[in-house]
Amino acid sequence: MTHEYGFVGSTPHIRHGSNSGQPLTRREGVLKVTGAARYAADCYPEGMLYAVIAESTIARGLVTSLSLGAAKAHAGVVEVMTPENRPPLAADPNVRPNPFMMRLDVLQNNVVRFARQPVAVVIGETFEAATEGAMLLAPRYQAELPRIDLDNAESFVPKVIRVASPPEQGTGDIEAGLAAGATHVDVRYETPDQYHNPMEPHAVVAVWEGDRLSIDMPTQNPAFTRSQLAYMFGLPAENISIRSPLVGGGFGGKGMLTGPTVLGILAARLVNRPVKLVLRRDQMYGPVGHRAATRQRLRLSMDGDGRLTALSHDTLTATSSFDEFIEPAGDASHVLYASPAVSVTHRAVRQDQGTPIFMRAPGEAPGSAALESAIDELAWSRRIDPLDFRLRNYSEVEPLHHMPFSSKELRECYAQGAERFGWSKRPLEPRQMRDDRGFLVGWGMGTATFPAITFQAAARAVLQSDGTGIIEIGSADMGQGSLTALAQIGADSLGLDVEQIEFRAGTSDLPDGGIEGASAHTATAGSAISSAGADAIAKLAALATVDQNSPLFGAGNTGLIARGGRLFRRDDESRSESYAEILARAGTSAVEGNGKCGPNPAAQSYSMHSHGAVFAEVKVDPDLGQIRVTRLVGAFAAGRVINPRMVRSQYYGGMIWGLSFALQEEAVIDRRTGLVVNADLAEYRIPVNADVPSLEAIIVEEHDPHVNALGTKGVGEIGITGTVGAIANAIWHATGVRVRRFPIRIEDIM
Ligand code: MOS
What are the pLDDT digits (tens) for 594-606? 999 988 899 999 9
Confidence band for 17, pLDDT divided at 50, 70 and 90: low
pLDDT the model gives residue 158 = 54
- Determine the residue of 197, 251, 650 to mutate for testing ligand 1's pocket, defined as the one with the most ligand atoms within 8 A of the Cβ atom: 251
CB atoms within 10 A of CB 233: 21
Q: Is 514 in the pocket of ligand 1 (CB under 6 A)?
A: no
Q: Is 251 in the pocket of ligand 1 (CB under 6 A)?
A: yes
CA of 606 to the centre of ligand 1 (A): 23
pLDDT the model gives residue 3 = 35
CA of 575 to the centre of ligand 1 (A): 48
Of the ranges 140-149, 154-163, 514-523, which one carries the lowest mean pLDDT score? Answer: 154-163
Rounded to 5 degrees, φ, ψ at 47 are 80, 15
pLDDT at 713 over 80: yes
566 compared with 2, residue with greater pLDDT? 566
pLDDT the model gives residue 100 = 83
**pLDDT tens digits, 253-287:** 999 999 999 999 999 999 999 999 999 999 999 99
Helix, strand, or coil (residue 460): strand
Q: Is 453 in the pocket of ligand 1 (CB under 6 A)?
A: no
Atom of ligand 1 nearest to the CA of 516: 3
Q: What integer best gives the mean pLDDT of the chain?
A: 94
CA of 462 to the centre of ligand 1 (A): 31
Q: Is 290 in the pocket of ligand 1 (CB under 6 A)?
A: no
Q: Which of 46, 499, 717, 747 is catalytic?
A: 717
**pLDDT tens digits, 359-390:** 999 999 999 999 999 999 999 999 999 999 99
**pLDDT tens digits, 633-667:** 999 999 999 999 999 999 999 999 999 999 999 99
CA-to-CA distance for 627 and 350, rounded, in angstroms?
35
CA-to-CA distance for 468 and 484, rounded, in angstroms?
18
Rounded to 5 degrees, φ, ψ at 211 are -105, 25
- Determine the residue of 197, 221, 475, 717 to mutate for testing ligand 1's pocket, defined as the one with the most ligand atoms within 8 A of the Cβ atom: 717
CA-to-CA distance for 224 and 616, rounded, in angstroms?
39
**Helix runs in 18-173, H state only:** 29-33, 68-73, 127-136
CA of 595 to the centre of ligand 1 (A): 24
Q: Is 517 in the pocket of ligand 1 (CB under 6 A)?
A: yes
Q: Which helix (H) or strand (E) holds 63?
A: strand 61-65
Confidence band for 332, pLDDT divided at 50, 70 and 90: confident
Give the HSE-up count for residue 411: Cα atoms under 13 Å, Cβ half-sphere: 7
Give the HSE-up count for residue 146: Cα atoms under 13 Å, Cβ half-sphere: 28
Atom of ligand 1 nearest to the CA of 517: 3
Atom of ligand 1 nearest to the CA of 515: 3
Confidence band for 487, pLDDT divided at 50, 70 and 90: very high
Q: In what order do the strands lie in the sheet with 118-124?
A: 77-81, 118-124, 49-55, 275-278, 203-209, 212-216, 240-243
- Mark 13-44 as b/e (b = at least 16 C-beta within 10 Å): ebeebbbbbbebebbbeeeeeeeeeebbbebe
**Helix runs in 123-215, H state only:** 127-136, 174-180
pLDDT the model gives residue 509 = 96
Atom of ligand 1 nearest to the CA of 478: 4
Of the ranges 70-79, 105-114, 567-576, which one carries the lowest mean pLDDT score? Answer: 567-576
- Determine the residue of 100, 358, 480 to mutate for testing ligand 1's pocket, defined as the one with the most ligand atoms within 8 A of the Cβ atom: 358
Q: Is 360 in the pocket of ligand 1 (CB under 6 A)?
A: yes
Atom of ligand 1 nearest to the CA of 361: 2
- Tell me the CA end-to-end span of the chain in Å, nearest whole number: 55
CA of 517 to the centre of ligand 1 (A): 4
CA of 130 to the centre of ligand 1 (A): 32
Residue 41 Rama label (left phi>0; alpha psi -120 to 50; beta): alpha
Atom of ligand 1 nearest to the CA of 250: 4
Q: Is 359 in the pocket of ligand 1 (CB under 6 A)?
A: yes
pLDDT at 9 over 50: no
Residues 6+ apart with CB under 8 A from 55: 115, 116, 117, 118, 119, 283, 286, 287
Q: Is 518 in the pocket of ligand 1 (CB under 6 A)?
A: yes
CA of 357 to the centre of ligand 1 (A): 9
**pLDDT tens digits, 664-686:** 999 999 999 999 999 999 999 99
Confidence band for 44, pLDDT divided at 50, 70 and 90: very high
Of the ranges 248-252, 556-560, 653-657, 709-713, which one carries the lowest mean pLDDT score? Answer: 556-560
Helix, strand, or coil (residue 632): strand
Atom of ligand 1 nearest to the CA of 251: 4
pLDDT the model gives residue 165 = 61
Q: Which domains does the chain have, with CATH numbers?
A: 4-37+454-599 (3.30.365.10), 363-453+604-749 (3.30.365.10)
CA of 516 to the centre of ligand 1 (A): 7
Give the percent of the chain with pLDDT over 70.
96
Of the ranges 31-40, 85-94, 96-105, 452-461, which one carries the lowest mean pLDDT score? Answer: 96-105
| Max Cα-Cα span within the chain | 85
CA-nearest residue, atom 3 of ligand 1: 517
142: β partners: 62
pLDDT the model gives residue 84 = 98
**pLDDT tens digits, 148-193:** 988 887 666 655 544 556 778 899 999 999 999 999 999 999 999 9
CA-nearest residue, atom 1 of ligand 1: 252
Catalytic residue check, 717? yes
Residues 6+ apart with CB under 8 A from 98: none
Of the ranges 320-329, 461-470, 573-582, which one carries the lowest mean pLDDT score? Answer: 320-329
pLDDT at 10 over 60: no
pLDDT at 13 over 80: no
CA-to-CA distance for 576 and 569, rounded, in angstroms?
6
Q: Is 358 in the pocket of ligand 1 (CB under 6 A)?
A: yes
CA of 532 to the centre of ligand 1 (A): 26
Q: Which helix (H) or strand (E) holds 442?
A: strand 440-451
CA distances from 714 to 313, 524, 637, 639 (A): 25, 10, 10, 8
pLDDT the model gives residue 7 = 35
CA-to-CA distance for 600 and 511, rounded, in angstroms?
20
